[in-house]
Amino acid sequence: MVSTLSIFTTVFLVPVLASFILNIIFQKPPADHGKGTMFDLIASRYDFINRALALNLDIGWRKVMVKEVTSDGNLFLGTEPVRVLDLATGTADVAILMAKEYNQKNSEHISKFQNIDILGVDPSANMISVGREKVKKENLTDKITLDLGDARNLKDLESDFFHAATMSFGIRNVPEKQQALCEIHRVLKKEEGDVKGAKFGILEFSEPGDDFGIMGMGARLFIRHVVPVFGALLSGAPREYMHLQNSIADFPSPKEFANLMETLQCGDKNTGTFRVDDVIQLNFGSVQLYLATPIYT
């Protein structure tokens, strides 16, 4: 009984108090919010902190996204190499999972696939450089290229080019979400008549609603207080991790975000929106996987 109480105090009560205090000290978001340089500070410890705070569950969420976006391997069947864009690629976790999924499916398939080109973009030079090391270690440099890039302005990328795109825990960091979604829409192949559109998967946190009961409440408490406090301690970058908490609280509800995707106003040159095909709830409603297809309107 005593030990249960002390575990509860350590895991929940202390972080709740600490997060209230830290939130008062670090009220404002970091000045470079949306530019990626904020992540330069924590790049070398990012993977370790992620795994520790998400209790390794984050790997499973990314795997679900890769399976869904590739339609369990069907994306790789085709007459040309598959082009995949991973936005806010960070340390390249998703890009690496995508390449491994390709290799796995290719080894199981009777005739060989046409190859895959995965481009990961991120504005944080340090995150990219950690990612490049990981890609090298995994021997995947023939499949993955990592470049500096901002989701709000993909000026170097051709329109209607990619067969699929992913973005995990990135869109929350972009203040101009509509602008980023319009750019992503521009570079993806659109659905037109019988021609299949690209698949776009976005993974993002939100605070679980009441329909997830006690588990949802626990997840809410964990995200709101435990993650930012332990993140601040482990990273030594308290402003950045307090911002994480606030950016999750400020992120639109799943319904609102799906609506934003479906009602994009992208200007004369790019008329279209996304059709949200599914919103998959993970981790007691604290993580959503949005699956969408770019369409013309």
Which residues would be at the binding site for ligand SAM (CB under 6 A)? 34, 36, 39, 87-90, 93-94, 122-124, 127, 150-152, 168-170, 173-174
What letter does residue 205 receive in the DSSP assignment?
A: E
CB of 177 to ligand SAM, least distance (A): 10
How many CB atoms within 10 Å of residue 71?
Answer: 13
Of 42 and 116, which CB lies nearer to ligand SAM in the complex structure? Answer: 42
Q: Where are the beta strands (DSSP E) in the chain?
A: 82-87, 116-122, 144-148, 164-168, 199-205, 272-282, 287-296
CB of 203 to ligand SAM, least distance (A): 7
How many CB atoms within 10 Å of residue 255?
Answer: 10
CB of 31 to ligand SAM, least distance (A): 13
Alpha-carbon torsion, ordered 176, 178, 180, 181, to 10 deg: 160
Of 152 and 225, which CB lies nearer to ligand SAM in the complex structure? Answer: 152
Q: By Cβ distance, which residue is nearest to ligand SAM? A: 90
Of 64 and 295, which CB lies nearer to ligand SAM in the complex structure? Answer: 64
From residue 287, alpha-carbon distances to 9, 99, 166 in Å are 25, 23, 15
Q: Which two tokens stand for residue 297?
A: 């309107």
Of 48 and 196, which CB lies nearer to ligand SAM in the complex structure? Answer: 48
Which run of H or of E encompasses 229? helix 227-235
Distance CA 205, CA 225 (A): 14
Of 2 and 86, which CB lies nearer to ligand SAM in the complex structure? Answer: 86
Of 235 and 273, which CB lies nearer to ligand SAM in the complex structure? Answer: 235
How many CB atoms within 10 Å of residue 214?
Answer: 8
Task: Please give the angle made by the CA atoms of 65, 89 and 113, to the nearest 5 degrees.
Answer: 60
CB of 122 to ligand SAM, least distance (A): 5
CB of 86 to ligand SAM, least distance (A): 7
CB of 4 to ligand SAM, least distance (A): 33
Of 14 and 282, which CB lies nearer to ligand SAM in the complex structure? Answer: 282
Tell me the β-bridge partners of 168: 203
What type of residue sits at position 1? M
CB of 142 to ligand SAM, least distance (A): 21
